[in-house]
Amino acid sequence: MRIGREGLRERRAARAGRVLVTGGAGFLGSHFAVALMRAGHPVTLLARSSKDLSARDRVARIAGWFGLDGEARRRLAVAEGDILDPGWGAGAGGGDLADVDEIVHCASSTSFAERRRPEVEAANIEGLGRVLDFAARGRCSVLHHVSTAYVAGKRSGVCKEDWIEGGEFTNVYEETKARGEILARDACREEGIRLNVYRPTIVYGDSRTGRTLRFNALYHPVKAAVRLRDIYLADIRERGGAKAAELGIRLAEGGRLVMPLRIAVGREGGLNLVPVDHCVDAFMALFEESLDGGIYHIANPGTTGIGDLVGYARRYFGLEGIETCGTEDFGARPKNALEALYEAYLDAYRPYMQDPRVFDGANAAPVLRKRGLACPAFDEAMFARCMAYAVETDWGSRLPA
Amino acid sequence: MPKIDHEALSTAARCRHYAMCKIDYLGTGLCPSGPEKHFVTFYPQGRMDLYRGLAEGRIPVTAALAEAADTCDLCGRCDLQCHFVTGMQPTSVMRALKDLVEAHRRAGGEVLSPAEDEGLRKMRGIVGRDGASNDPAVLWTYADDPFPLAGPRMPRYVALPRSRDEVSALVRLAGALGLPFAVRGNGGSVFGFVFTDGIVLDMGRMRGIAFDPENWCVAVEPGVTSFELQQEAFRRGLRVNAAEPAATVCGNIVCTGTFSTWSNVYGTAADSFVDMEFVGLDGSVFRLNDKRAPNHFAFEHKVVPSPGICTKAYVRLHPKTDDEEGLLVPFEGLDEAVRFARELAQRRLGLAVGVLGTHYIATFLSPDEGLAAKLKEALPQALGIDYAVFAVADRFARDAIGKMAPAVIDASLLRLLMLGLPRLVEPSWLDLIREFEGRERPWELLCRADMRPVVEAALRPSPETVSESVPEALRPFYRELYARPEMTDMVWLNMHRIVSARMSRRKHMFAFLVYVPPDKPLVIREVLDGFARVAEANGIDHDFGFLTPMDLGRRAILEYDYYVDHTDPAEREKIARALPEIEPWLDGLAARVPGVLSLKYVFSQGCSRKENFLYRV
């Protein structure tokens, strides 16, 4: 190992090691980085510039969103770069990146679509390879690899915190994240770099405030329903509702929209949802406690059924007519245009909506128990908090890019 | 000098000389003084130049200038015509010109009337008193173009011949006077060929069109524009292979040989005509089909002078069927799109075929520059469309294309998208599509027939919706315009090419055209990369234009465009630096790869057989 257990403990205690966070302007990357800085660690964020903003300006805006105080900000350095850039690994190593002791690798593509395989592989395999090369060349002694619980692939029942080698996957995201873990394991073994692998399930907003920087996963299908609601409300209110009437959409008493939309649901499982604050707390606990390395699920012991979610959405957004039904019943009647659209929309999420996988927490649980950390349940109040923030920020369009 | 309206001057300086104000392409009628006087001076384009010339002190107030100002009644037609393609509204310039002339008169300023010299007297003897001028204001409107690499070049006379014999007489007179001459059709000259310090022959009075359906051709005089000819052919259930709408048919054939997306089936160069009549450089008359005539069907790989002045072209007529419709097949990559277009050509599927990039698609479809910019961004980012193959096809070909392509934007969806464009680019709607993670690509979802009710509800397609994107004062006109079926009919639009004139809306466009072998994707990539490299090195805006297969997909014509603000000296310098870099690189590529040829070498050889320049044996 490049660093001994005690040496690592002492360096951590002295807050003497600099941590590079890749994907530092992303959802988990920014949350982890802020938590590390607040805990006193010097952090370098690797971030890309956007069309209108430099990486530094993007990070400044995100720091503002977190309300990062001056003291914590003094521990922050920004390195502009992109692991998708073939030259990044070779060029990096100087300047802000010269003194990296640990890496938290969050940069990743979370796209599920097979048609996006090239870009997903570019981020999750080739980009990771550049980070591993960079780690090998420098003085990095610990790699914190942020993966996903869904590397488990197509299986039912208990999924352990073990290496996944081979098997079938639901989509390119799962497959590349699983391949990435093995790449990271082999490279770290060869270089004597300690490796922690973090495997969260579906991460949503803050359980206490509903705040979040990203509105994907849980939010996507809800947002789609709300956008459709708005389209037909406008049709009814501004143009007499001819298009709405074609699909049997109408206004009910109290201004609620009746939008006939059946969602086919199988019998198994539900969504495994983890709020970002718990994900961050769990990550920090494991970061600090797991010095020898390991694989850790960050999951919810319970799941949320689609029927429950639909009910929450119906009540919160004033939507009538949306209902779940069994797949056989769904096929018995022809689909209307909304159902066809929604079915296509949910296609990618379906494996996670009725997830038969149960994520074992044998490795993570003792650490989380020790810290008194338990994943909050996702209930209607939680849904309302998260959606209130989504609406307040227009699903993120008013947030820092 | 009375006060200059700098906003009007800026508008005047940005006139692209596209001459769209010289054709009645929107059914608004023309500026009345133009067809009466014939000199470009009396069209809005000419008045834009007059204001610029006057404001910059390049021309005095003359009798013709005052008449041009006085004959404008501020009817506003030019606002409608010009806005449709450039986004500009020239009426403010017309008003400023009238104000300037009026102020000059009030101040007792001189109105110059140049004396008739011997040359002009003889010229008027040929073309009539109103058919020739040496008035500096008239000359000024024939002295300059947006071509940014040359300054104004004032001719000594402008003459408007009415017949072949008058053309012949003018050519002989030019010889006798020892003066060079240049022939002017319409629009702007990309490379400055239409300027001279001698006599400009404006062919605007030779506007004869005579259909000969038995021989599937139409005799066209040199003042006839592509739009006018296509309009007449369309009325008769026929079609011609036409160029840019304001370009003259004869001038276009002679200059480069007409090419368009229809060249896929109608070919180019000598494919476009049955015969042509010329007045030679010595004033003699000949026809190309005459065995004793010079052989202009042959091609020489060098820049050569034109055969003379075309006074009549017997343009080929093509039949059309009543089930033709336009469609778009989206693609994520250029290679796939080119492969598909080539396959259509090889399989003889479709009539007009072309690969378009997002810049062209967005610009063609959007009546406003801001909307075009949003659409250009939305197409790849939200819809996943980077390229599209455009095709006009009958119902049999459409069936086949539907089986070959993963999804097709058919005519009805295209109409819906055009009329709902401002909604299509709204972030809330784009969000819905962008985040689609399913197996299908977002555009495939959009194309699904079962999605149509939702798409219609979201986009609210109507003339009212699409008109929201233009300035409020123009909305009533646009609402009426887009209520006309042809304005969303891709067959009509593509035949008459009125939306492709929008390409210069943002900046003056330099179009580079190269014949390429479409079966060699690496060569196409090399051509595109080469243009992009030179543009980037010189800080020039640039984009892929289009690619159309020809000759059953054995060859294709490719356009790459540079965009330059011709009123900005810094931009002019950029293009001046870039152009000399392109020629040797492209010549080298052409020497190395059979099938690559810069259109530059076809200039003035547009009457040649295409086989003589597409293939080298």
What CA–CA distance (Å, rounded) separates B239 from B84?
24
Average pLDDT over residues B251-266: 95
Q: Which residue has the higher pLDDT, A243 or B185?
A: A243
Q: Which residue has the higher pLDDT, B320 or A96?
A: B320
pLDDT of residue B193 exceeding 70 = no
pLDDT of residue B430 exceeding 80 = yes
pLDDT of residue B503 exceeding 60 = yes
**Chain B residues with beta carbon closer than 8 angstroms to that of A239:** 460
The residues, ordered by sequence, that sit 6+ positions from B496 with a Cβ below 8 Å of its Cβ are: B25, B227, B230, B231, B234, B242, B245
**Chain A residues with beta carbon closer than 8 angstroms to that of B452:** 337
Query: What is the per-residue DSSP string for A110-123?
Result: ----GGGHHHHHII
pLDDT of residue A92 exceeding 60 = no
What CA–CA distance (Å, rounded) separates B433 from B446?
9
> B426 is written with which tokens?
């709204």
Closest CA to B131 of B144, B140, B122: B122
Closest CA to A121 of A176, A42, A175: A176
Pairing of strands B238-239, B273-279: unpaired
Cross-chain residue pair A231–B456, CB shorter than 8 Å:
no
Distance from CA of A244 to the nearest CA of B (A): 8
* Least confident residue range of A282-291, B294-303, B518-527: B294-303
User: Residues B338-396: pLDDT tens digits?
Assistant: 999 999 999 999 999 999 999 999 999 999 999 999 999 999 988 999 999 999 999 99
What CA–CA distance (Å, rounded) separates B482 from B504?
22
What CA–CA distance (Å, rounded) separates A196 from A364?
11
**Chain B residues with beta carbon closer than 8 angstroms to that of A247:** 453
**Chain B residues with beta carbon closer than 8 angstroms to that of A112:** 437
pLDDT of residue B436 exceeding 90 = no
pLDDT at B482: 98
ipTM value: 0.82
Cross-chain residue pair B439–A335, CB shorter than 8 Å:
no
Q: CA-nearest residue of chain B to A344?
A: B438
pLDDT of residue B191 exceeding 80 = no
Cross-chain residue pair B429–A338, CB shorter than 8 Å:
no
Residues recorded for chain B:
617
Cross-chain residue pair B454–A115, CB shorter than 8 Å:
no
**Residue at B418: amino acid letter:** M
Cross-chain residue pair A243–B456, CB shorter than 8 Å:
yes
pLDDT at B2: 67
End-to-end CA distance of chain B: 64
pLDDT of residue B332 exceeding 80 = yes
pLDDT at B538: 97
* Least confident residue range of A247-256, A363-372, B114-123, B584-593: A247-256
Q: At what angle do helices A172-191 and A128-137 cross, to 10 degrees?
A: 10
Average pLDDT over residues A10-39: 96
**By the 8 A CB rule, do B502 and B529 touch?**
no
**Chain B residues with beta carbon closer than 8 angstroms to that of A243:** 453, 456-457
Residue A338 contacts B where some CB pair is shorter than 8 Å: yes
pLDDT of residue B197 exceeding 80 = yes
Query: Mutation test of the interface with chain A: which of B424, B437, B443, choosing the one with the most A Cβ atoms within 10 A?
Result: B437
pLDDT of residue B20 exceeding 60 = yes
Provide the mean pLDDT of chain A.
Answer: 92
pLDDT at A155: 87
User: Residues A193-216: pLDDT tens digits?
Assistant: 999 999 999 999 999 999 999 998
pLDDT of residue A217 exceeding 90 = no
* Least confident residue range of A323-337, B206-220, B332-346: A323-337
Cross-chain residue pair B457–A220, CB shorter than 8 Å:
no
pTM of the model: 0.90
pLDDT at A72: 87
> B195 is written with which tokens?
């300027």
Phi then psi dihedrals of residue A7, to 5 deg:
-60, -40
Q: Nearest by CB to B457, from A113, A216, A243: name it.
A: A243
Residue B445 contacts A where some CB pair is shorter than 8 Å: yes
Cross-chain residue pair A115–B441, CB shorter than 8 Å:
yes
What CA–CA distance (Å, rounded) separates A398 from A400?
7
pLDDT of residue B1 exceeding 70 = no
pLDDT of residue B190 exceeding 70 = no
pLDDT at B342: 98
Average pLDDT over residues A322-326: 89
**Chain B residues with beta carbon closer than 8 angstroms to that of A235:** 457, 460
Distance from CA of B456 to the nearest CA of A (A): 8
Q: Nearest by CB to A247, from B428, B448, B453: name it.
A: B453
Residue B428 contacts A where some CB pair is shorter than 8 Å: yes
Residue B520 contacts A where some CB pair is shorter than 8 Å: no
pLDDT band at A156 (very low <50, low <70, confident <90, very high): confident
pLDDT at B428: 81
Residue A347 contacts B where some CB pair is shorter than 8 Å: yes
Identify each DSSP E strand in B371-412 by its residue range: 387-393
pLDDT of residue A9 exceeding 80 = yes
Dihedral sign computed on CA atoms, order B238, B240, B241, B242: negative
Provide the mean pLDDT of chain B.
Answer: 94
pLDDT at B192: 62
Query: What is the per-residue DSSP string for B83-119?
Result: HHHHS--THHHHHHHHHHHHHHHHTT---B-PPP-HH
**Chain B residues with beta carbon closer than 8 angstroms to that of A335:** 450
Pairing of strands B209-212, B217-220: antiparallel
**Residue at B207: amino acid letter:** R
Cross-chain residue pair B460–A224, CB shorter than 8 Å:
no
pLDDT at B195: 84
Cross-chain residue pair B457–A235, CB shorter than 8 Å:
yes
Dihedral sign computed on CA atoms, order A381, A387, A388, A389: positive
CB pairs under 8 A between A and B: 68
What CA–CA distance (Å, rounded) separates A139 from A119?
29
Query: Mutation test of the interface with chain B: which of A243, A335, A397, choosing the one with the most B Cβ atoms within 10 A?
Result: A243
User: Residues A50-68: pLDDT tens digits?
Assistant: 888 899 999 999 999 999 9
* Least confident residue range of A265-274, B49-58, B396-405, B477-486: A265-274
Residue A228 contacts B where some CB pair is shorter than 8 Å: yes
Residue B431 contacts A where some CB pair is shorter than 8 Å: yes
pLDDT of residue B316 exceeding 90 = yes
Residue B106 contacts A where some CB pair is shorter than 8 Å: no
pLDDT of residue A95 exceeding 70 = no
pLDDT at A401: 64
pLDDT band at A91 (very low <50, low <70, confident <90, very high): low
Phi then psi dihedrals of residue A215, to 5 deg:
-125, 50
Residue B108 contacts A where some CB pair is shorter than 8 Å: no
Cross-chain residue pair B457–A349, CB shorter than 8 Å:
no
Residue B452 contacts A where some CB pair is shorter than 8 Å: yes
**Chain B residues with beta carbon closer than 8 angstroms to that of A348:** 437-439
Average pLDDT over residues A248-266: 90
